[in-house]
Each structure stands twice: as C-alpha cells, then as structure tokens.
Amino acid sequence: MMSYKTLVGLEIHVELMTERKMFCNCKNEFGAMPNTNVCPVCLGLPGALPVMDKEAVEYAIMAGLAFNCEIEKTIIMDRKSYFYPDLTKGYQISQSDFPLCKGGFLEIDLDEGPKKIRLERIHIEEDTGKQIHTENGTTLLDFNRSGVPLIEIVTKPDINSSEEARLFLEKLKNTIKYLGVSDVKMEEGSLRCDVNINVIDEERNIRTNISEIKNLNSFKSVVKAIEYEQKRHIEALENGSNTDKETRRFNELTGETILMRKKFQASDYRYQFEADLTPIEIKEEWINEIRTAMPELPDQKKRRFMKDYKLNEYDASILTQSKELSFFYEELTDLVNDAKLAANWVMTDVLRRLKEEDKELSQLNLTPKALAELLDYVKSGKVNNNTAKKVLREMLETGESAKNIIDKQGLIQINDEEELSRVIDEVIKDNQQSVEDFKNGKDRALGYLMGQIMKKTKGKANPNTANKMLIDKINKN
C-alpha cells in the first residue's frame, strides 16, 4: 500500500476596508462608476509620488496581531516589476524581504483535536486595476481598484487535505470579519485565494513539483481544485513521472485545472527597493495602541460565551462561527434573559432556516428583537413550543410580528384546567377503545388520545398539563 501525503499552502489576498487608497487620497470603494476614483498616483503617471496611508498600516498590523505574527520594526516597500495591462506603472508596490508581519499561526478544529496552521508571512501591497473582458472581444480597464490596500497572507504547507483548507479559510475569513479590516467578500474580490500543492510519496521519498492554482473565487472551488490536483499528482507518481512546476487555472464548469503558464521565479520580478517611500519606523507604543483597540476575536468570544452564558464548547463554537450570528445571539440573550433558551432557538430554528435557504443571517427577515418577543411567549408558557415554531415560520415568511400572528390566529396556549377538562372528557367519551387499550398496557394509545386533544384545541393545549390530566382521569375512571 502506497502512502501519499498532500501538502497545501495558501496565498490569500485580502482588500482592506480603508477610507482611502494605499498611496493616494482617492476613495477606496467598490462598485463606483469605472475610472472615477483615480488620480495621477494610482494611474501611475510619471512624476506622481506615493504617500503611505496610516490606516492601511494599522489594519495590516491588526491582522498580524490577530494571527499571532511578529511585527517588523520598519516598513520597507519594494517594487515588483512585471508587465500587465492593469498595472500602469509596470511594477506593483509590494514587500519582498521584509514583510510587515512574520510567522504566526491560525488554529483549526479537527475531529482529532486542534491543529496549528503556521503562517510564513503577511505583507502589504497595492491592488492592480481590473480588466473587464466584454462579449464582443474587447477588454476594458477600470482603475478604481488600482492602489487599493491589500494584505497577502502566505501559509506554510501545513494543510494536508481539501477539508483542512476549507476549515482554515473559514476561520481566516471569520477572524478578519470580526476584526473589521475587510468585508472579505469573495464574490466582490475582496478575498482571493491561490493554492500551492504537491504530493509526497512517503515510502519512496519522492515528491512532485508544486503546482499553483490561481484565481479561485469560492471556497468550493478551492476544495474542488485541491481534490483534482491531488489526483493528478498521485497519478504522475504512480506512472513514474512528475508534474511540471507551473501555474494553472481552475475551470469551474468542468472541475478541472488547465495550464496557464510555466511558473515565474521570484527573480523574474526584479524586486528592488521602492525609493519613493521612505522606510517608516513602527514604535512599540503604536503596536500597543492598535492591540488595545482590537475587537474581540472568535476564540475569545467563544471562551466568554462558555463562561458568561454557561454554554458547552460545541454550542459556543457554533454561535461564534460568524460575527453576525454571535452578535445576534448576544442581543437576543440580553433581551430574553435566558441564555440556554436563546441558544436552542438560534442553533436549531434559525440556523436550519439559513441552511435550507442558503442565506446569510442579514438576508433573513428576523431581528433579535422580533425573535425575543416570540420567546417571551414561550418562556411565560403562553404559547407552546410547537406552536411557537409555526409562528416563527410565519414571521419569516410574512415579516409580521409574533404578537400579530398569535393574536390574529388566537394561538395562546390553553392552560385553563376547566377548559382542558371539558375537552379531555369529550375525548375519553368518544374513544373508549383507546382508553381500554391504555388500561391494558398499550402505551401507544395515550399518544393517540393526546393527538385527539391537540386536534380539538387546534394545537393550543398545554401539552404537559393535558397529559397529566388525561392520565389522572383515566385512572379514576
């Protein structure tokens, strides 16, 4: 039996949500009219000089701290030279030998326990313009994106499967969202991922050459591309050949990767010091200021939820999996004043709905306040659980409040023992056979009788009270 080990390293570009671009005063905004947020600096006109944006550096340092990196003492920028139509200067201002953040790691949760994925570096650089290929064969250029600040996060090849890659990306995305330094929308290009992959034949100690898969635009594509490449590399090893060191592109329609170009060497880029930007010293006090201003991160929040709300680890990690969900849960808990009840409803009914409709929480027709109103009915026993679930479904469909739906349909639970007694007597009278069956030890008959009670009360009977009263009455009968 051959044993193969897959090595995956990721390079992730994240656009920072700063007010301004990295080296000029143009607005950093997505979706504006093409070429309206441009100036001589980000168009790369001769003689225009870049000035470093402070906010961009702060955001990048924040990311470095969140991923446990060491922060460099001086910012040194380099020119990375290559030709591309969306790169007006003929070089990108980036970082080569002195990335702003070094080392670091991010932990993912596997079934067998937590695993550390180490980072190589996080460096800062400017984004390029955007090419738009039209149907009639022309290519348009939009330079609004030119000069938007990016961080490039490079991992070590510590990822050993497509599933680990997915978990890593989800954790990374979530952490950056909590930090608030990027909106990390893959569909808008503010999070972009390249995969480096090769396979080792551990028995014979040979490894394939690394392939790089560029421009993957969803986590699903990352997973599929890794799985496709894994197979291709193993096949090469089994045929006694090897893969070429090359850059490939993933075709979403076929699920295959195709050759894009032979891989560039770092030396092809002719990195050189960017003399237009003076090195900036990063003082310890500045880092401390940034650290203090950092918001709570997913792992911290998870521990706090376990402590403050007495949630178990599983529930706490589900509820902190996304920033929106964690805020929704906290607000709901504050309003209902019952952490366990809130957790149950968010984790079952709300999450199920999101999954069914493949939606984000923000797209759902539900605020914590609206759900809290419904849960107050549950807590006080005015509405039973099953009815409440139906009310929630209707709230989501119509956007109406819990109170309106409950009032309009008269769904308040029947707790009144006199009223229940009357209904139960009727049910007993009409179903003598079932009563006998129950007396003779057929427990199922009780379920049938309860069903009749619920039917007569349109589901509004308090199930616990009705059940107790029914058994009492039968026993006295």
Q: Tell me which of Mn ion, Zn ion, none is bound by residue 39, counting a contact when its beta carbon lies within the kind-specific cut-off of 5 to 8 angstroms.
A: Zn ion
Nearer to Mn ion, 152 or 330 (CB): 152
Of the pair 11, 183, the CB lying nearest Mn ion is at: 11
* 456-475: contacts with Mn ion (CB under 5 A): none
Restricting to residues 179-198, name those near Mn ion by CB under 5 A: none
Q: Closer to Zn ion by CB, 51 or 412: give it.
A: 51
10 binds Zn ion (CB under 5 A): no
152 versus 349: smaller Cβ distance to Mn ion: 152
Give whichever of 26 and 453 is closer to Zn ion, judged by the CB atom.
26
With CB cut-offs between 5 and 8 Å by kind, which of Mn ion, Zn ion, none does residue 420 bind? none
Please give the residue whose beta carbon sits closest to Mn ion in the complex: 152
Structure tokens at 288: 């401390």
**Which does residue 24 bind out of Zn ion, Mn ion, none, counting CB within 5 to 8 angstroms by kind?**
Zn ion
Least distance in Å: CB of 278 to Zn ion?
A: 20
Whole-number minimum distance, CB 41 to Zn ion, in Å? 5
Place of tokens 């001769």: 46
Report the nearest approach of Zn ion to the CB of residue 223 (Å): 37
Nearer to Zn ion, 53 or 330 (CB): 53
Residue window 24-63: x/- pattern of binding to Zn ion, with contact defined by CB under 5 A? x-x------------x-xx---------------------
Q: Residue 152 binds which entry of Zn ion, Mn ion, none, with Cβ cut-offs from 5 to 8 Å by kind?
A: Mn ion
Q: Which stretch binds Zn ion (CB under 5 A): 3-11, 19-27, 89-97, 322-330?
A: 19-27
Binding mask 428-467 for Zn ion (x = CB under 5 A): ----------------------------------------
From the CB of 274, what's the least distance to Zn ion, in Å?
17
**Long-range pairs, 449-458, Cβ under 8 A, ≥24:** 452/427, 453/420, 453/423, 453/424, 453/427, 456/423, 456/426, 456/427, 457/414, 457/420, 457/423
- Residues 126-165 touching Mn ion, rule: CB under 5 A, are 152
Kindly state the smallest distance separating residue 148's Cβ from Mn ion, in Å.
12
Q: Which residues bind Zn ion (CB under 5 A)?
A: 24, 26, 39, 41-42
Q: Which residues bind Mn ion (CB under 5 A)?
A: 152
